[in-house]
Structure 1
Amino acid sequence: MAASYSITRVIALWDRLNSSFWFVPTVMVIVAVALSFLFIEVDILRGVDLTDDPSAFYTFGPEGARSILSVIATSMITVASLIFSITMLSLQLASSQFGPRVLDNFMRDRSNQIVLGTFIATFLYCLFVLRSVRGMEGSSFVPHLAVGFGVVLAAASVAVLIYFIHHIATSIRIETLLAKLAYEGCCAVDRLFDERPQQGAGHQMPDGFDADSRQIAADFGGYVQNVGVDALMRIATEHDLVLRIDAPPGQFVTKGVCVITAYPQDRVSDKIEEQLCGAVVIGRDRTPHQDLEFAIHRIVELAQRSLSPGFNDPTTALYCIDRLGEVLGRVDGRSIPSTMQLDRHCQVRLLTETVVLEDVACRAFAAIARYGITDADVVRQLSETLVRVEASFPLAARHALADFREQVLSASRSQSLHGFDRKILSDVQDTDRTES
């Protein structure tokens, strides 16, 4: 397997494993089982016997050790079942209230994974220690250190249970969810928009690019989740190629569809094609890692659901608009990435699609305005947020946002509004005139 293929795919696989609901509990279980063997071996080497020394941390006879380990194991598996049920109930609530696109955030919640892993790990630890307790009173082997550590794990599990009750009540709040979605959106902006001046302006594509190029097809269908730009740049530089990314992150492709075009085709061997194909990660769903539009869409979807007649919660829509402004305002001071990326010798190596900021912003705000155009508070919040976002956008994108903002205000004025709602919109227009 080629290096670039393995690095890109392994990184994507590790990210999926690290964010899955079962990976952290599995690691914790393995560590707990290993600790049970370790502490038993330490007790064997120490040759600890039953003692009445009051200064000892925790000592038991065989029956006492069996009893306390059995009680801990039974209670841990019972609480673990309860934790799992509460988690599933929270997922069901999140799916119905916030939409299925945000379920991944709850599944990747590290606290929930650690809580579940703590109880399962304690349960299995007690089972493995329990098997080593042998004999009757007066002639026995009791791993006092191992049993004592089991008591410590039980006490820690109680503390974790109290934390879980607090955490699960906090995590299902809309403010907490929006903060997480906005953070992921800001991270996507940081990855896509460079703080350094853009390069590649003034360069042109090679002559005959389309005629003398080789198309790299997707090996299976799905959404493009990650494109290894660094790996593609390295391959293009080593083999003197010019690559064009035809399927950017977030695009749905079917098997056999071209994802990368390589020029010239006579330099692209089957091995290089395998490397190029491996630099593109395709999965079942979209992810916000490199897909800014999807990161924004999840916030927009929450606003749309809150404005639907079934929910009728415009306050949540106001929170969503604020967070949307936070993500788009992150662009402030950053340059729009060029469609052409150069190597250190200023040779064009990679052609990509650039993000059209004004289109992304207008589509996002329009999706909210479409449902909240009759709500004066929503329109006012949209107007104020658009003003802030417009100030952070590059000059070329500001005019589109200003025109869109005027269209929203004009559309709201044409609605049959109450007198006090018209007063709110009139105040917004008066503020515009004062600022201008």
Structure 2
Amino acid sequence: MAVTKNDKNNLPTRILSTSLDALKKFIQLWSLQTLTDLPDRLRNLWQQLIGSYWFIPTACVLTGILLAPLFIAIDQQFDRATVKDISFAFTGDDSSARAIMTTIAGAVLGVAGTTFSITIAVLSMASSQFGPRLLRNFLTDTSNQFVLGAFIGTFSYSLLVLKAIHKHDVNFGVPQLSVTFAIVMAVVCALLLVYFVQHMVHAIQASRVIQGACNDAIKNIHYWYSDNCEMEHQYNVINSDDVEQYHSWAATPIYAPTSGYLQQIYFESLITLAQDYGGVVQLHTNLGDFVTDKNVIGHFYRRPTAHISNLKKTKTSQLAVSPQAPDGIFWQRFAACLHFERQSAYTNDIASSLGQITEIAVRALSPGINDPKTAVNCVQSLTICLSLMLRRQPPSPYHFYTPPKNKDESDITVNQPRIAILALITRTPKISDFIETSLGEIRRYAIADLMVLKALCQAVTDLNYARVNSAQRQTLLRELTLIEHAGQANLSYKELTEDLIAMCQQARQFIHDDNAQHRHFEYISKFDMHIYKDLQTQSR
């Protein structure tokens, strides 16, 4: 078949058009997987880098490698007479420079080894006393990483400058500014060594470890819980019929793409995926949950074809989007919307942060450690976090897709109101779940310790100041009842049991009081009250 001139001219155009279409589809696929939720993905990547012990030291080594040739180049262009006028600048010959650089390189490398040994010893002690999950807090301590990085960065810098020292005239063979900077860095490293020892002494204190875990939990609470209720979102939930009807749609089970711990959920990517396939994605797992590749972690509910949400505002009248069943592209995109790890790592999960504080308390109550004061400190820190959660607005399990506004509203021929479309339903833990997995876990290990049980009772009354509804009151009363039952069944002496029961009864009356949030709760036992009355009588 002969090819005409017109066909020859159209062939490059068709090849270019086909290539552009393929590139467009490729960009569209990967933009949905990587560009959507880009801040969350970058933050997740940054957390992984910070969580590794090598990132900051490696950056310091690279900095030292880059600074060495930079200072040497400046030395070659700098006026030597001006260097001699600087009082603290090095002005010796090549032998002195070589001796100084050799001493600095050997000294900082030896100190770096000592620093690493101290860090390993602290990690070993922290693992046995506070639990292995707290090791990340020590590994991600930027102060420790920077101190180690400063030592090995100075070592790398000194080696490269030592290589540039030649046995020639002093004015040309000795990089005086480079040697001066190395001396300054050696002094800085000596100060950093003192700071490192002082920092490690404070870092291994139980109160400091608990405070760090509490700060992480508060940061995660601020990330998930909002100050105010979003009225627009509540309006969408109330006026969306899909919230009540999606269970009746055709459902496709969603299996975990891999085994491991769910570390990150990219909501915008899931919302876009659900909208493109005309349905609703429901997840049954939450952050931190462990699943296997055979677990059903959710369902995809496909909307009926005639559903009003399938009509899009376009220039073509009554143009409908036909819902699609999940295909290969769907599963590829879904796998990119979730991030799994074979081992539990740091996430912005509130339960994981509270679990660190709980683990410290549980280990403190073990017979090998037997430190109830630390457990009480953990209970007080958990009270701070739970009180903050009670006062703030919890995250909603419903996530909507809002159609974008058209630039030219006059071209819209479909008279459809612009409403939010339900696209994603997640599993959101309740405040009762957090109380059960934090205070409840400590209660189960402190069943025979009156000090910790009374601290838990005090924590429940403190949380009562932050409650905002009757459901939260019932949760606090249930936890108070469990504390009372634990003491009745396990305390050794009758007097201890009666003391705990009396405190629980006063706390229960306090929580039932509608005006309790404007009163001060203080438990005074019968024995203390008797002594108080006798002292008042004698003072008269």
TM-score by length of 1: 0.91
Contact 1:49 1:141 in 2 (8 A): no
Distance 1:386 1:128 in 2: 62
User: Please, which moves more after superposition, 154-163 or 218-227?
Assistant: 218-227
- 1:83 aligned residue (108, 115, 127): 115
Contact 1:36 1:125 in 2 (8 A): yes
Indicate the SS of the match to 1:105.
Answer: helix
- 1:304 aligned residue (362, 365, 376): 362
Q: What do the CA deviations read for 1:232-287 (whole angstroms, capped 9, x no partner)?
A: 23444455442222332111122354445434361655344323211211112334
Distance 2:399 2:445 in 1: 40
Tell me which structure has the larger Cα radius of gyration: 2
Indicate the SS of the match to 1:321.
Answer: helix
1:291 and 2:356 are equivalent in the alignment: no
User: Please, which moves more after superposition, 98-107 or 285-294?
Assistant: 285-294
Residue of structure 1 equivalent to 2:50 = 18
Q: Post-superposition shift, 1:384?
A: 0.7
Indicate the SS of the match to 2:90.
Answer: coil
- 1:159 aligned residue (182, 187, 191): 191
1:350 and 2:408 are equivalent in the alignment: no
Residue of structure 1 equivalent to 2:433 = 359
After superposition, the Cα gap between the structure-2 partners of 1:45 and 1:308, relative to the gap in structure 1 and judged at 3 Å, is: same
Contact 1:376 1:421 in 2 (8 A): yes
Indicate the SS of the match to 1:368.
Answer: helix
Residue of structure 1 equivalent to 2:22 = none
Which runs of 5 or more structure 2 residues have no equivalent in the other structure? 1-28, 303-322, 403-418, 514-540
Indicate the SS of the match to 2:428.
Answer: coil
Give the letter aligned to residue 129 of structure 2: Q
1:282 and 2:340 are equivalent in the alignment: yes
User: Please, which moves more after superposition, 242-251 or 257-266?
Assistant: 257-266
Contact 1:232 1:276 in 2 (8 A): yes
Give the letter aligned to residue 124 of structure 2: Q
5 Å-filtered alignment, 1:259-278, equals 259-264=297-302, 266=324, 268-278=326-336
Indicate the SS of the match to 1:331.
Answer: helix
Q: Post-superposition shift, 1:310?
A: 1.2
Q: What do the CA deviations read for 1:363-382 (whole angstroms, capped 9, x no partner)?
A: 32222112212222111110
Q: Post-superposition shift, 1:111?
A: 0.7
1:125 and 2:153 are equivalent in the alignment: no
Q: Post-superposition shift, 1:83?
A: 0.3
Indicate the SS of the match to 2:389.
Answer: coil
Q: Post-superposition shift, 1:427?
A: 5.6
- 1:2 aligned residue (7, 30, 34): 30
Contact 2:491 2:497 in 1 (8 A): no
Residue of structure 2 equivalent to 1:176 = 208
Give the letter aligned to residue 124 of structure 1: S
1:196 and 2:234 are equivalent in the alignment: no
User: Please, which moves more after superposition, 369-378 or 239-248?
Assistant: 239-248
Distance 1:35 1:181 in 2: 37
Distance 2:299 2:491 in 1: 53
Residue of structure 2 equivalent to 1:328 = 386
Distance 1:51 1:397 in 2: 72
- 1:225 aligned residue (248, 260, 263): 263
Residue of structure 2 equivalent to 1:100 = 132
Residue of structure 1 equivalent to 2:537 = none
Indicate the SS of the match to 1:332.
Answer: helix
1:402 and 2:502 are equivalent in the alignment: no
Contact 2:237 2:243 in 1 (8 A): no
- 2:290 aligned residue (252, 255, 267): 252
1:319 and 2:403 are equivalent in the alignment: no
Residue of structure 1 equivalent to 2:531 = none
Give the letter aligned to residue 184 of structure 2: V
1:372 and 2:446 are equivalent in the alignment: yes
Which runs of 5 or more structure 1 residues have no equivalent in the other structure? none
Q: What do the CA deviations read for 1:87-131 (whole angstroms, capped 9, x no partner)?
A: 000000001111111111111111110010000000000001110
1:383 and 2:457 are equivalent in the alignment: yes
TM-score by length of 2: 0.74
After superposition, the Cα gap between the structure-2 partners of 1:427 and 1:60, relative to the gap in structure 1 and judged at 3 Å, is: farther
Q: Post-superposition shift, 1:354?
A: 1.9
After superposition, the Cα gap between the structure-2 partners of 1:192 and 1:54, relative to the gap in structure 1 and judged at 3 Å, is: closer
Distance 1:210 1:37 in 2: 70
Contact 2:400 2:420 in 1 (8 A): yes
For these two proteins, the number of residue pairs brought into alignment is: 436
Distance 1:305 1:23 in 2: 31
After superposition, the Cα gap between the structure-2 partners of 1:96 and 1:415, relative to the gap in structure 1 and judged at 3 Å, is: closer
Q: What do the CA deviations read for 1:365-419 (whole angstroms, capped 9, x no partner)?
A: 2221122122221111100101122332442122022122023124313444446
After superposition, the Cα gap between the structure-2 partners of 1:360 and 1:60, relative to the gap in structure 1 and judged at 3 Å, is: same
Q: Post-superposition shift, 1:209?
A: 5.5
- Determine which structure has greater relative contact order: mean sequence separation of CA pairs < 8 Å that are 6+ residues apart, divided by chain length: 1
Distance 1:109 1:415 in 2: 41
* Percent identity of equivalent pairs: 28
After superposition, the Cα gap between the structure-2 partners of 1:283 and 1:43, relative to the gap in structure 1 and judged at 3 Å, is: same
Distance 1:52 1:270 in 2: 72
1:27 and 2:59 are equivalent in the alignment: yes
Distance 2:325 2:181 in 1: 62
Q: Post-superposition shift, 1:23?
A: 0.3
Distance 1:310 1:222 in 2: 32
Computed over aligned residues only, the root mean square deviation of the Cα atoms, in angstroms, reads 2.7
Contact 2:457 2:507 in 1 (8 A): no
Contact 1:50 1:60 in 2 (8 A): no
- 1:40 aligned residue (42, 67, 72): 72
Distance 1:433 1:180 in 2: 32
Residue of structure 1 equivalent to 2:7 = none
After superposition, the Cα gap between the structure-2 partners of 1:244 and 1:423, relative to the gap in structure 1 and judged at 3 Å, is: closer
1:412 and 2:487 are equivalent in the alignment: yes
Distance 1:50 1:337 in 2: 64
Q: Post-superposition shift, 1:210?
A: 7.5
After superposition, the Cα gap between the structure-2 partners of 1:305 and 1:82, relative to the gap in structure 1 and judged at 3 Å, is: same
